[in-house]
Structures are given as C-alpha cells and as structure tokens.
C-alpha cells in the first residue's frame, strides 16, 4: 500500500472499520480508504484517526476503497466489491471506486475487473491495468 500511496498521493486511512460488529464474526474492515483532497501523501491508522477520517471524508474530491493482496484473485476481487458497498452504506453521501493493489496481476482477471466490474487494478511494476485481454 505504501508504493501505491507514493504514486497516487492523498491520504490513505488503513484498516477502516465499517458496519456493526456481529457476535461470533470478525469485525469488518477495509484494508485502506484513500481520500484525494490534497496533494499530501500520507498513511494513517483509522483506529486512532477516525475523527480526522470523518472530517476529511465529507470534503474529499475522490474516494477509493483499497484491498491489498499478493496476487489478484477472486477472493480479493469480492472483498473490493463488498468494501465499496459497505463504505457507501456506512457513509451515505460517499461514492467510492474499488481498487485492488497487488504484487502480481492476471490478464484475464484484470480485464474482468476493469471492463466489467469497475475495479481499478494496480501493481508496482505495471501501474494501473488497462484491462486489454491478449489472446
């Protein structure tokens, strides 16, 4: 997530909790939420900066939900989709773009993410995937 933050700027809040806790289940958290409201590049822990998060979220120009995985796979893609809707459910006036940050891509899944699901895929070596499927 640090490499992504250096390339894109803005403020990333890490481990953003959303939704109510359910007995017997893990808490729901999003790996990161990026707010592009200034050129400043920083990563903050949500747990100790939640008031700052709420204040900045209300005036953010662009909001991304970020899921970080070593490999682009179906599990992470599902998490990115659900993270978008959880954040938009919790913060009604927010519209978020899901982003997968992963070390290794997969051309077919990148195509599906970018062309069908509206998920941006970013890798440190390739930047944002264009979703062109090579056959």
| Domain spans, the chain | 2-128
Give me the pLDDT at residue 6, please: 85
Q: Which residue has the tokens 């941006």?
A: 120
Cα atoms in the Cβ-side hemisphere of radius 13 Å centred on 114: 17
Tens-digit pLDDT profile for residues 43-101: 999 999 989 999 888 888 889 999 999 999 999 999 999 999 999 988 878 899 999 99
**Beta strands at 97-104 and 127-128: parallel, antiparallel or unpaired:** unpaired
- Strand-pairing partners, residue 128, are 122
Give me the pLDDT at residue 71, please: 94
Give me the pLDDT at residue 19, please: 77
Retrieve residue 16's tokens: 């953003």
Give me the pLDDT at residue 40, please: 77
CA gap 11, 20 in Å, rounded: 24
- Highest-confidence range of 13-17, 21-25, 38-42, 54-58, by mean pLDDT? 13-17
Retrieve residue 76's tokens: 């992470």
Give me the pLDDT at residue 36, please: 85
Give me the pLDDT at residue 134, please: 58
CATH of 2-128, one of 1.10.260, 3.30.300, 3.40.1350, 1.10.3470: 3.40.1350
């Amino acid at each position: 997530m640090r490499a992504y933050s250096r390339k894109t700027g803005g403020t990333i809040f890490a481990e953003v909790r959303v939704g109510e806790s359910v007995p017997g289940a893990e808490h729901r958290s999003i790996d990161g939420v990026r707010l592009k409201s200034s050129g400043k590049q920083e990563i903050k822990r949500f747990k100790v900066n939640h008031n700052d998060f709420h204040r900045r979220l209300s005036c953010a120009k662009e909001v991304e939900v970020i899921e970080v995985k070593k490999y682009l796979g179906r599990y992470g893609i599902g998490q990115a989709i659900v993270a978008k809707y959880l954040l938009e459910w919790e913060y009604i006036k927010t519209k978020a773009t899901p982003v997968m940050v992963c070390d290794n891509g997969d051309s077919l899944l990148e195509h599906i993410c970018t062309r069908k699901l509206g998920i941006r895929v970013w890798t440190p070596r390739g930047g944002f995937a264009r979703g062109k499927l090579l056959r």
